[in-house]
């Protein structure tokens, strides 16, 4: 399978109202360009350094999403151009994004990343902290960000019931916060679990290896 076949197959599986974020981390700009030329405009990267290298080499109308853990001291580098930061996992980070976005006279879209996986390794806000942060946002504390929704990653497991349970926890929180102030985006699901995520209410999925092929971390 090549990238074009992969991309077309994924697009054909996605309902029309589900957004695809093509996760291009570790893959060269030529591969990103190839998918862009097929009509894809939304791409995700997980590292600021890699995003900074790719951004100037690719079409300027790409909507870049940062999906990996973001350190506050790196926000300033991406604030001028980032479309959405999906990985907001602390109040400190949200405050920094709002500050740096303000300096660029921008409003940056963000998702709150919530920890739903059982694994210790995954980043994300605890449910209660996400609620508190959303209330602070409603109260006007972060004027230069727009919280668009929630992002979460399920446990890396073959146990489909567990994955479903975790996704449904995030869907429930999404519905609850949506009552307070309307939200648009529920970002759940990757190459291996996006059909399950969509079943559980995701309307945005982050797909990397199923489009670009396996990542080679040895390089
Ligand atoms: C790498 C990554 C993805 C994509 O993973 P694939 O399994 O390659 O589809 C999605 N979300 C996040 C946060 C990632 O870091």
For residue 1, what pLDDT band results from cuts at 50, 70 and 90?
low
Say yes or no: CB of residue 206 within 6 Å of ligand 1.
yes
Answer whether residue 215 is part of any domain.
Answer: no
Task: Report if residue 61 sits inside a domain.
Answer: yes
CA distance 188 to 150: 8
Calculate the alpha carbon distances from 91 to 15, 25, 126, 149 in Å: 34, 26, 12, 15
Query: Using CA atoms, how far apart are residues 97 and 145, in angstroms rounded to an integer?
Result: 7
Q: Report helix, strand or coil for 17.
A: coil
Enclosing domain of residue 77:
3-209
The answer as to whether 132 is a domain residue is: yes
Nearest CA to 153 among 110, 202, 199, 108? 202
pLDDT digits (tens, 9 = 90+) for 162-209: 999 999 999 999 999 999 999 999 999 999 999 999 999 999 999 999
In a domain, 126, yes or no: yes
Is the pTM here over 0.75, yes or no? yes
Given a contact cutoff of 8 angstroms between Cβ atoms, the answer to whether 41 and 32 are in contact is no
CATH number of the domain that residue 171 is part of: 3.20.20.10
Q: Looking at the 3D structure of the chain, how many domains does it have?
A: 1
| Cα dist from 219 to 26, 27, 211, 215, whole Å | 9, 11, 19, 10
Whether ligand 1 lies within 6 angstroms of the CB of 90 is answered as: no
Residue nearest to atom 7 of ligand 1 (CA): 191
Three-state SS at 64:
strand
């Amino acid at each position: 399978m090549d990238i074009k076949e992969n991309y077309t197959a994924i697009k054909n599986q996605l309902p029309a109202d589900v957004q695809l974020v093509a996760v291009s981390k570790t893959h060269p700009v030529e591969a990103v360009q190839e998918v862009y030329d097929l009509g894809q405009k939304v791409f995700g990267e997980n590292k600021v350094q890699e995003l900074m290298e790719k951004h100037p080499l690719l079409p300027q109308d790409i909507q870049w999403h940062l999906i990996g853990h973001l350190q506050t001291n790196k926000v300033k580098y991406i604030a001028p151009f980032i479309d959405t930061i999906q990985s907001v996992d602390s109040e400190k980070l949200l405050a920094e994004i709002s500050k740096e976005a303000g300096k660029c006279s921008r409003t940056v879209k963000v998702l709150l990343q919530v920890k739903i996986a059982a694994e210790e390794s995954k980043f994300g806000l605890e449910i209660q902290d996400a609620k508190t942060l959303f209330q602070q946002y409603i109260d006007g504390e972060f004027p230069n960000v727009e919280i668009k929704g929630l992002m979460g990653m399920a446990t890396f497991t073959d146990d489909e019931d567990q994955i479903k349970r975790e996704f449904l926890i995030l869907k429930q929180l999404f519905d609850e916060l949506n009552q307070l102030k309307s939200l648009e985006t529920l970002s759940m699901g990757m190459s291996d679990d996006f059909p399950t995520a969509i079943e559980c209410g995701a309307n945005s999925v982050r797909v990397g290896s199923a489009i670009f092929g396996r990542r080679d971390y040895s390089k």
